[in-house]
Amino acid sequence: MQISGSTRVFMVLGDPVSQVQAPRLFNALFERHGLDAVLVPAHVRLEDSAAFARGVLSARNVDGLWLTIPHKPALLPLLSRCDRDGRLAQAVNAVRRSEDGSLEGALFDGRGFTKALAHFGFDARGRRALLVGAGGAGAAIAAALLDTGLHTLALHDLGDRAQLLAQRLQPHAGATAVVAAGNDPAGYDLVIHATPLGLRPTDPLPFDVQRLRADALVVDILMKPCDTPLMAACRTRGVRVEPGFEMLVQQVPDYLSFFGMHAAAQAVQADLSGVRALIHAG
């Protein structure tokens, strides 16, 4: 990759940031599609994120920010515009500077998830789904699921987080019933795990796998190089389970399009196999 005075610069903010895959993935795509752009990581503390964003986006060759934990909710007060999923989930994972200098945000996590469901061959229309984990990623997935025609979307989390999210979503849910519920997966067609449980080997399972329907689809959005404990338990029981990597794959064209790289977005969308290969190579 050749960096010059005309290279468009993007940054991905995180705390920590060493684990992010976006620079390796997108820089390879920039090079592959002949884009004079670079994505670099920036390790920024949460309390510094707003000031950092204001400062760095004042540079005319810095065109936007990718956001990861814990920054997705932090920049909302700076935005003049935000897409619907970002407003409902109260978080964004991309921020760009408009021509007038104002900032605009978008949230692609949930859209990536629903497109992953289509890739898995799962039709959500009229089905019942349980989402375990109503934090940032869970809220994004819940907001996007409102567009899939679900019959019921049940949310579970500790404290009142699921109840508050259900109240925020229901006015926008159309015919979908959005409710706060327990973590019993019995009777659901789709069960989504969106908590940190499974990052450590001593973590308990987020729900009782024995209670799953035999024909249910489980999606564990944790992205680990090997099966999570939940995935292993589902496979032992013979229940179909998918990891979260496809959710990331499906977001790539959205990022490229949001940042004005429309030809590359269309080319990547037409054949996502190269993105999958880059992600799994890491």
What amino acid occupies position 90?
Answer: Q
What DSSP designation does 18 have?
Answer: T
Which of 12, 39, 72, 148 is the catalytic position?
72
Let me know if 224 is a catalytic residue. Answer: no
Alpha helices in 14-152 (DSSP H): 22-32, 49-56, 84-89, 109-120, 136-145
Looking at beta carbons, which pairs linking 117-126 to residues 24 or more positions away fall under 8 Å?
117/148, 117/190, 117/219, 119/246, 119/250, 120/217, 120/219, 120/242, 120/246, 122/190, 122/217, 124/148, 124/149, 124/150, 124/190, 125/149, 125/150, 126/150, 126/151
Residues 6+ apart with CB under 8 A from 185: 130, 191, 207, 208, 209, 211, 212, 213, 216
Contact 139, 84 (CB under 8 A): no
Q: Which of 269, 197, 187, 263 is nearest to 229 (CA)?
A: 197
164: left (phi over 0), alpha (psi -120 to 50) or beta: alpha
Residue 258's DSSP bridge partners are none
What DSSP designation does 245 have?
Answer: H
Angle between helices 136-145 and 161-169 (to 10 degrees): 30
Q: How far is CA 220 from CA 37, 60, 178, 248, in A?
A: 32, 39, 21, 13
Question: Catalytic residues, which ones?
Answer: 72
